[in-house]
Structure 1
Amino acid sequence: MTTDGRHPRPEGLAAPAATGEPRDDGSATVWLLAVLFALLSLAGLAFTVTVIGASRQRAATAADLAALAAAALPPVDEQAVCARAREISAANGARLVDCRIVADAVEIAVGVHLPAVIGRLGDLSVHARAGPWGGAAGAYLPTSQEANGQERAPAPS
């Protein structure tokens, strides 16, 4: 050991700065940080796609259930039909955006707010249509009260 506390360099081995070779001390740290950043970016992307997919499924479920519940009511009172759709969509975590009766069906649009930072992208909107109402003219009415060996509910009158 030298007097300044450093180990002596073996003979014939010059310091990297003296030979003009680049030093690579600490380059593994830079590469490790780059790989970690890439992995965290991919994890963030996967999380974002998963959250958007789950929110879309929640919105689709809310829209389908709201449309089916609204289509079960007689289509004479649009306010009552849309109130029922609003109630069902709210119970499923969505907000009713549009509701209308078109011919013999009910068309529903619901929106779901995306959580956290992803919410800056805006609301997710899904449309659903259900109908016709079972008592409407031209609606399908079964000719038999049995289907696949099970009793069917009687047709509305």
Structure 2
Amino acid sequence: MTATDAPPQSLAPAPSEEWKSCGHCNQAKPEAAFPLAEPGRRRSTCRDCHNKQRRDRGDNVRRGPRETPEARRARLLRSAYNLTPEQYTALLAEQGGTCALCGKPPQRGKSLVIDHCHATGVVRALLCTYCNVVIGIFENHRQVAAEYLAAYSEGNPLLKR
């Protein structure tokens, strides 16, 4: 490398740093700019070229090939609740588009969540987010909640005069 084609100062290697040429853009870059292919071995293309190639192919850097929102939703419904989108829509129609507990429609831009038993995985109904949180807390603390309500059904005895 001559003085005229030396890398810019910002890319100058640390004294012990190795340089490598990218197999795609042919630029010399510090070895750290090349992602690990496996422990002890770096890829032949730099991180920038690798990510650009994946974007150009339509890959999501973390998940693989891009999914449509509908496909993602169908995959999540199937994996989490063993439901199809059609079954969710049927539940929603059966409930009139409202929460099975409070009867209110979901907030704007939100959908009803799937209430299910965490122990068995059985789907119960569709609830608004608030009711789902309340049911989840009550389900986990049922005995304590029942004892509390029974103990204080007449009010707090310390406050009676």
TM-score by length of 2: 0.19
Whose radius of gyration is greater, 1 or 2?
1
Q: TM-score, normalised by structure 1?
A: 0.19
Flag the structure with more relative contact order, 1 or 2, with Cα contacts below 8 A and sequence separation at least 6.
1
